[in-house]
Amino acid sequence: MDYASVAKKILQRVGGKENVISLVHCMTRLRFTLKDESIVDDEAVKKTKGVMGVMKKAGQYQIIIGNDVANVFAELNKLGSFSNEAPKKAPRNQEKKGVASMLMDTISGIMAPVIPAIIGAAMIKVLLTLLPMIGVLDTEGNTYNLLSVIGDGAFFFMPVLIAISASKKFGTNMYYAASIALIMLHPNFISLMSNANEAGEVVKFLGFIPVTYASYSYSVIPIILAVWSLQYVEKLADKITPVVTKNFLRPMLVVLIEAPIALIVLGPLGAILGNVLSDIVYFIHDQLGFIAIGLVAGIYPFVVMAGMHHAFTPIKLGMIATTGYENFICIGELCSNMAQGAASLAVSVKSKNKDFKQVAGSSAFSALVAGITEPALYGVTLRLKRPMLGACIGAVAGGLFGGFFQMKCFGIATPAIVTIVQYVEEDRAASLLIAALTIVITVIVAFIATMLIGFEDIVDEDDEDEAILAEEAQPAAAPLPEGKEIRILSPIQGECIPLEQVKDATFSQGILGKGAAVIPEKGEVASPFDGKIDMMFETGHAVGMTSSDGVELLIHVGMDTVNLEGKYFYPKKASGDTVKKGEVILEFDKDEIVKAGYDITTPVIVSNTDAFADVSATASGPVKELDEILVVR
């Protein structure tokens, strides 16, 4: 790469040096603070050779470069005298959001880590519907009853899972949070409230405070509100307890104060809010009927782009818990996913760009077969614009068909061809045919619509018109012999989540490479292999490494933590150091980073993904330091 040429083009396309207030860089991005973002030619910036993408976030115009960012940054500084100080405000102060937006972001962030457990339980419930239909399982037998308990466990005790996830979101003690959830689900409490409700009586705390009847099993919002309030109760208990009594008095006060708040105020309030939200959604369904499903299918890609799709999970869970199925949002999701895949397939067929044909083809496969739509959505349909219209048309057509024939969903696994069994209805043999036809209609209409509407193809021209850095020569590793695998271990103890769930498109879309992410439970990063530190960033928030096998790994602690300017990060190794597996290379103060308003989710990325045939995640949920999380083939 000609760094000087790239820097010159970037500076020109962001409005010249006169438009730049400050310029900093992190491990992969140039972060401009501009006087006027409206004059920036976004498309020209994206098409600059060496630029992998553009993001506008936290008051910054961020240009994704990749591993060569430091070199481009150096050339930019030769072109102008820019302030190299990052913005001082924490992200929460830079981006003011409305109450509704904040609520949706919170629910989405809390639900995302819980979804694998819910999907596992949901698919067992689907099996319990499918196996008796084909005569494999007796509904009166012990096996059926045991599987029913296994499939229902994650749903019934949903507040416990939510409490654990919410505790990380709000920075509270996980065990306090789980304890409050367990109190709300205690059999004696459920029995007390049920008996009083049946008798027309009111349970009173301290003899005069009424406790409103509400069911918390299968619920989401009540425990979120309870854990949100827990952060303030913890601070209060810590403030009022003498030092010598903190070990026993503080925990007692936390539970003694928070439990009544949850049971008397926030629990019932959350139940009401959940019911209202659900009522609004299904009121639309009741009024418009199957037309509403078509509309949801058509707009669902934009819901995903807004990051609001996980906020629908509580609504779907509530409906399944109440009726045993969901017949609105889940149908729209399926049609949307299939349409994205079909539109990408059409692009793959019609495009003349060999490289982009492969991108579109693989994106179509992942959307259709596995329901993973981000590559198709961000890399193909949204990028080319007109295929997005074709996808929406196909989704609406499929949604109208599925809605008209009263299609139902009995699980919440990612809607895709491989999960079609969750749309099979007991005692309705035609349900499988209806689901299959819904997919077929969606795919055919979206494919034909995209082919007819057409698109402006991405063509291979000179360096200035090339948009993707992935094809540039950066051979970091020789191809692995057939059958050989390299296993990458977790550098951090915590909860492993799919990279797609990271709230930063640079990581979630795989722009920097494939990998996984870990939500840390302790502030320590260990070397996952024998190798070398290529770059320990000066602020300590990120480190690039290369293994002895040639795997280039990026470990990025938190989102936008470069803005902390090294505060709370304590590197133990430096650039150029040789390290052994398990050696501590970085320590950080997890709690202080969270208090400062930053998401500490830590992506672990194979930055030279293109040098290998495949990089796939092998872990989900809790992982210890040096547990396997990735395999490279």
User: Which residues are 284's β-sheet partners?
Assistant: none
Catalytic residue among 25, 26, 392, 541: 26
Cβ-contact 444, 433 below 8 angstroms? no
Supply φ then ψ for residue 536, to 5 degrees: -100, 110
- One DSSP character per residue, 109-173 reads HHHGGGHHHHHHHHHHHHHHHHHHHTTSS-TTSHHHHHHHHHHHHHHHTHHHHHHHHHHHHHT--
Say whether 457 sits in a helix, a strand or coil: coil
- How far apart are alpha carbons 527 and 199 in whole angstroms? 62
604 closest CA partner among 471, 523, 502: 502
Is residue 25 part of the annotated active site? The answer reads no
Supply φ then ψ for residue 209, to 5 degrees: -95, 115
Return the structure tokens found at 536: 């320990």
Return the structure tokens found at 207: 């003899």
Element at 570 (helix H, strand E): strand 569-571
- How far apart are alpha carbons 357 and 365 in whole angstroms? 12
Return the structure tokens found at 154: 């994650």
Catalytic residue among 25, 309, 310, 556: 556
Cβ-contact 342, 391 below 8 angstroms? yes
- How far apart are alpha carbons 126 and 188 in whole angstroms? 31
- How far apart are alpha carbons 48 and 121 in whole angstroms? 46
Task: Quickly tell me which residue has 């506008």 as its tokens.
Answer: 56
CA 191 to chain centre: 37
CA atoms within 13 A on the CB side of 348: 17
Q: Please, which residues have CB within 8 angstroms of residue 589's CB and are 6 or more apart in sequence?
A: 523, 568
Return the structure tokens found at 633: 């083939």
Task: Quickly tell me which residue has 């799919």 as its tokens.
Answer: 498
Q: Please, which residues have CB within 8 angstroms of residue 16's CB and are 6 or more apart in sequence?
A: none
Is residue 392 part of the annotated active site? The answer reads no
Return the structure tokens found at 343: 């539109």
Say whether 82 sits in a helix, a strand or coil: coil
Alpha-carbon separation of residue 484 from 481, 490, 565, 614, 626 (angstroms): 6, 20, 40, 11, 20
- How far apart are alpha carbons 34 and 22 in whole angstroms? 7
Supply the residues annotated as catalytic: 26, 556
